[in-house]
Amino acid sequence: MRTNIFRRAVVAGASAAVALVGLGTVTSTAQAADVSLKFNCSVSILTGEEFGFDAAVEVPATAEQGKPLTLSFDGTVSASNTVRQSAYYILNARALSGTADIDAKFGGQDLPLVAQVARTEVPGGTEVQPLVLPAKGSATFTPTAVGTQTVTIAGFKANLKSEKSDGTTADVEATCVAKDAAAAVATVEVTKSTAPAKVATKATAKASYAKKAKKATVNVKVVNNKKKAVQGKVKLTLKKGKKVVGKRTVTLSKKGVAKGVFTKVKAKGKYTVIAEFQGNKTAKKSKATAKFTVK
């Protein structure tokens, strides 16, 4: 139970932190914010248990489209005395640890947020006290949309390990749902990318066959929209009819040309070579075909 709640709290904490930061002064420098969130969790025989998460979260208030952005959080998750006693006396848990996958979004895109809960001993005894676990995590992702992006968290699923009093371990799965799944927990202003747009390219290919050597040679050339040479990788696929009979990867020279050779080409028939330029940081992908016949 605690585990679920802990995970959930972590997720919530991260989101809240982001939100607070986003509402602050607009700057590209990472800022820290203290957050406190609540979740409803179910695990084992307990349902509807409230968990609290308190953490410091760091995230830039602004980001650029197409450039990596990192959100991180570090805090604690606390569960009620009932949860603590159930874990200790019913589940015989003496320590808990694990991870949780968080169902979070950054605007319209999925946010790959994962919470880590370090191994923590579960306290026993009759004294009323909460179960408190450390929780931290981070996510690095690339914003795809421009404008004010809102971070939301619908919930999370935790997979934890319980170390029992008899020395054995048991898997504990917990599911948590945010008390307000539609609530905005963070905002980040994403500006338009300043990176230059990729240029279009054109690939050409010519193939020849040497009957005596039983080999096919493919010459490829790739230029951009200004007819200047382009560098990068080109994948060559040799097909006889619909069947793929050979593959090669060649590298374009500074002049934008490359040569690929297919050996042991013996079977009579018509062949097609597909040359696919893989693109690079400034140039788009392109494709060309060439044909030859073995008589």
The reported pLDDT for the residue numbered 12 is: 38
Give the sign of the dihedral formed by CA 184, CA 186, CA 187, CA 188.
negative
Q: Does domain 201-294 have CATH number 2.40.30.260?
A: no
Backbone angles phi, psi at 22, to 5 degrees: -60, -30
In angstroms, the CA 33 to CA 151 distance is 15
In angstroms, the CA 76 to CA 130 distance is 12
Q: What is the pTM of this model?
A: 0.58
In angstroms, the CA 115 to CA 176 distance is 13
- Whether 201-294 and 2-191 are alike in CATH topology: the answer is yes
The reported pLDDT for the residue numbered 62 is: 92
Q: Which two tokens stand for residue 15?
A: 């989101």
DSSP 3-state assignment of 81?
A: helix
- Which residue bears the tokens 């240029």? 199
In angstroms, the CA 100 to CA 139 distance is 13
Backbone angles phi, psi at 34, to 5 degrees: -90, 135
Per-residue pLDDT of the chain (295 residues; tens, 9 = 90+): 333 333 333 333 333 333 333 333 333 456 566 777 888 988 887 889 998 888 777 888 899 998 999 988 888 888 889 989 999 999 999 999 999 888 888 999 998 888 899 999 999 999 999 999 888 989 999 999 999 988 888 888 888 899 999 999 999 888 888 888 877 777 899 999 887 889 999 999 999 999 999 999 999 999 999 999 999 999 999 999 999 999 999 999 999 999 999 999 999 999 999 999 999 989 999 999 999 999 9
The reported pLDDT for the residue numbered 23 is: 33
Domain ranges in the chain? 2-191, 201-294
Half-sphere exposure of 235 (CA within 13 A, CB side): 8
**Per-residue DSSP letter, 227:** S
Q: Which two tokens stand for residue 177?
A: 């749902």
Region of residue 98 (left: phi > 0; alpha: psi -120 to 50; beta: else): left
Opening angle at CA 110, ends 107 and 113, nearest 5: 110
The reported pLDDT for the residue numbered 52 is: 84
Q: Which CATH number fits domain 2-191: 2.60.40, 3.40.390, 1.10.3710, 1.10.3470?
A: 2.60.40
